Amino acid sequence: MSKKNHQAMTLATPIIRGNDTITAVTITDDIKQAGSLRGLRLVNVLNLDTDAITTLLERVTSPHFKTKESAEMDTRDFVGLSEELMPFLTPPGHGESSEAETENP
């Protein structure tokens, strides 16, 4: 699968990696593959469990985070990236009434 990137999220606190400064992060199409969830409990991911989200972000972001970078990330950035994951993890039309629910018997 191609690594299509979605809209970048600008970090509140840039991450310094050697001589590079990471100022924005994108969620890649890897999030659309069930394999990105391997070894994770889906309930933990959907409940935004910090350890589960950290592991998932390391797998599906560009640039890829290192464990130490994820642990030291600004809380605002971590929460923002967690929220960016949710549309990929919920079914299309989630929260909308289905046709069957709106029909009169």
Q: List pLDDT tens digits, range 53-101.
A: 999 999 999 999 998 999 999 999 999 999 999 988 888 775 655 554 4
Please choose, from the candidates 36, 38, 40, the residue with its C-alpha nearest in 3D space to the C-alpha of residue 28.
Answer: 36
pLDDT confidence of residue 89: 87
Residue 57 · residue 70 · CB < 8 Å: yes
With bands split at pLDDT 50, 70 and 90, how would you rate the model's confidence at 8?
very high
Helix, strand counts (H, E) of the chain: 5, 3
Please choose, from the candidates 67, 10, 6, 48, the residue with its C-alpha nearest in 3D space to the C-alpha of residue 31.
Answer: 6
pLDDT confidence of residue 95: 60
The model's pTM is 0.79
